[in-house]
A and B are shown apart, each in its own frame.
Chain A
Amino acid sequence: GAGVSQTPSNKVTEKGKYVELRCDPISGHTALYWYRQSLGQGPEFLIYFQGTGAADDSGLPNDRFFAVRPEGSVSTLKIQRTERGDSAMYLCASSPRLATNNEQFFGPGTRLTVL
């Protein structure tokens, strides 16, 4: 079946603008995660959804970052008043959250560049 997909693959914006990044998880996966990965670093946890609710948003760096998953499937990461420091690869992952399988399947990412 189809894997995790993310759109757009690349996003270039100007400082101060608003951006939305979309994640389509694997069908049936109840858990969805957002990470940010800077060059040469490991993925940095941002937020985790179980169903429609954010179970853990402790990784969101500040109140300019917000994420939603209104129907428990597709999720959107929203960044307001973007700053140059927000430039990074934004990765989404989903997991079936089964007792015997909690592997996280990653999407290809959205590379965000803030000029």
Chain B
Amino acid sequence: GENVEQHPSTLSVQEGDSAVIKCTYSDSASNYFPWYKQELGKRPQLIIDIRSNVGEKKDQRIAVTLNKTAKHFSLHITETQPEDSAVYFCAASFGGGYQKVTFGTGTKLQVIP
């Protein structure tokens, strides 16, 4: 089955700096890669996703890149703000996300004001 690894497990950045979280996946058939943000005590919420036919996707301060050959994808947050502090999970799925979704272990991001 699919295995998703995520690094780093914790990340501290100064407000205004960039943050990068990296994930690798094992199943070359995976074709949908969502990223979720989970604030303390709250439910995970989708912040951005990317499909395998696209190499990069941006949404304001957030961008995701995908390298299918290397089977890795990354989340980039620019101009970080204190409200970006949360746990971020990457995930991978086959079937465009309709099927089983395998999550990474999470990255706890702390943005220091």
Chain B minimum-CB-distance residue to A106 = B43
Chain A residue contacts of B43, Cβ below 8 A: 91, 106-109
In the bound complex, do residue A48 and residue B100 qualify as a contact, i.e. CB atoms below 8 Å apart?
yes
Q: Are A106 and B45 in contact (CB under 8 A)?
A: yes
Q: Which of B1, B46, B101, B106 has a CB less than 8 Å from the CB of A33?
A: B101
- Residues A45 and B100 in contact in the complex (CB < 8 Å), given A91-B43, A103-B49, A109-B43: yes
Cβ contact within 8 Å between B46 and A43: no
Residue A97 is within 8 A (CB to CB) of chain B in the complex: yes
Q: Which of B6, B97, B102, B106 contacts A104 (CB 8 A)?
A: B97
A46 CB to closest chain B CB (Å) equals 10
Residues of chain A lying within 8 A (CB to CB) of residue B91: 42
Task: For A41, list chain B residues within 8 Å (CB).
Answer: 105-106
Chain B interfacial residues counted at CB < 8 A: 23
Q: Name A102's closest neighbour in chain B (CB-CB).
A: B97
- Most B Cβ at <10 Å: residue of A55, A106, A109: A106
Judge whether A85 is part of the interface by a CB distance below 8 angstroms. Answer: no
Chain B 1-27: CB-based contact to A (< 8 A → 1; otherwise 0): 100001000000000000000000000
Let me know if A1 is at the binding interface, CB within 8 A: no
For the complex, count residues of A whose C-beta is within 8 A of B.
26
A106 to B44 CA separation, bound complex (whole angstroms): 6
C-alpha spacing A57/B1, complex, angstroms: 13
Does A31 lie within 8 Å of B106, measured CB to CB?
A: no
A59 at the interface (CB under 8 A from B): yes
Complex: A106 Cα to B42 Cα, angstroms = 10
> Contacts A102-B32, A103-B34 known; A45 to B44 CB distance under 8 Å?
no
Hey, which bits of chain B sit against chain A, CB under 8 A? 1, 6, 32, 34, 42-46, 49, 89, 91, 96-106
A-B contacts, 11 of them at CB < 8 A, read A33-B101, A35-B103, A42-B6, A42-B89, A42-B91, A45-B102, A48-B99, A56-B100, A58-B1, A99-B96, A107-B43
